[in-house]
Amino acid sequence: MRALTLVLLAALSVAACGKSAPPVAPDVRVPAFIADLRGAVEDDAVALAWTNPQRRADGARLRDLTEIRLYRSEDDGVMPPKPALLVEGKIAGYREIAVIDLVAPAPAIVQGHTVRFVDRDGLRLGRRYTYVVVSEDGIGRTSAPSNRFAIVFIAPPEAPATPTVTAGDGEVRVRWQPPARLRDGGAPGTLAYEVLRSGAPDAPPDAIVPVPAGQTEYVDRNLQNERTYHYAVRAVRQEGGATARGPASARAAATPTRATPLTPPTNLVAAPSPNTVRLSWTASPDRNVVGYVIYRATGPGEAVRVGAVRSPATTFIDRDLASGTYRYTVTGQDATARANESAASNEVSVTVP
């Protein structure tokens, strides 16, 4: 028995000498806190956005983010917003207004790591609303509270009337009138604007351009000619640090077109032979010219189109002609839907034997 006891004590002593990893504090394994919660008043609601974390508090990759919880407090805006303290997984003094399941996030919208949520729940004009979000991983570990985002709920402007759009060469000029009222009937004051552009009448905007306060005109440049663009305008009210965006106007469409005439081909010459005329010319230097159109007239008659060739070809053979005198010209043509043509080249007259 004495020998067995010594053996057991020795084994325990060896086991006690083994190294173990230091304990990991639970708070470093939680998801990192969200640092960019932001928003604005939009069309009688508060539109919020933030970026979901991709790391844990200790810097490790976060692969099992499952849920976002959104909290809100309300006050008169006189004192600083309430601090955001996490107590037993909830924000003390705040009301939970949404739980967003990242597998089925509706009514929130998730695009990549960005989440957008619209709060319409019982908002009252003149009140300040402070928002905080926390995230949760697959085993229920909750992040620290996000930054607080506070906003005074102010009345947004009404929608401007349908803008006036004027197409030019590679550009569209958009003009509009300021809305007459705020959504609560008040005077709007000086407003800023956003110009919204899309490629189809019912498509979401693919460009949103801010326009400074008081400006009611914007020129959209570097556009593709012969493509139709659809424009709307919404007014933006800024007051006391709060921002309120009104609804967008109805849309107006414009199609930019080339205004500069194409440069015509030059040095047209004709070589006759029995029943045939061979034409050749110097190509147009205009890079927009993708082909050439050939015109022929008989005697004093009007010229008619008799053929076309694609650039870089600069020759054409007019066949099956009867004996007689013919006049020829050539124009350059671009690739737009309108198939714009240049002015005519020099005219040549030739007699077919």
CA distance 169 to 78: 53
The SS3 of residue 6 is helix
CA distance 106 to 275: 75
CA distance 230 to 188: 26
The CA-atom distances, in angstroms, between 263 and each of 82, 270, 331, 340 are 69, 21, 9, 11
Q: Which residue has the tokens 């060739």?
A: 309
CA distance 286 to 343: 12
DSSP letter, residue 156: P
Smallest Cα–Cα separation from 148: which of 134, 165, 127, 169? 134
Query: What is the length of the chain?
Result: 353
Q: What is the CATH number of domain 26-152?
A: 2.60.40.10
CB 100 within 8 A of CB 108: yes
Structure-derived torsion over alpha carbons of residues 243, 100, 146, 61, reported in degrees to the nearest 10: -130
User: Residue 67: is its pLDDT beyond 70?
Assistant: yes
pLDDT tens by residue, 109-138: 999 999 999 999 999 999 999 999 999 999
pTM of the model as a whole: 0.68
Q: Which residues pair with 158 in a beta bridge?
A: none
CB 182 within 8 A of CB 153: no
Q: Which residues pair with 316 in a beta bridge?
A: 279
Classify domain 164-254 at the CATH superfamily level. Immunoglobulins (2.60.40.10)
- Where are the chain's structural domains? 26-152, 164-254, 266-352
CB 246 within 8 A of CB 234: yes
CA distance 328 to 268: 9
**Cα 28 to chain centroid, rounded:** 37
CB 94 within 8 A of CB 82: yes
Examine domains 26-152 and 164-254 and report if their fold is the same: yes
Query: Confidence band (pLDDT; 50, 70, 90) for 25?
Result: low
Percent of the residues in the chain that have a pLDDT greater than 90, as a whole number: 82
- The residue among 184 and 174 whose pLDDT is bigger is 174
pLDDT tens by residue, 250-288: 999 999 988 788 999 999 999 999 999 999 999 999 998
Task: Classify domain 266-352 by CATH architecture.
Answer: Sandwich (2.60)
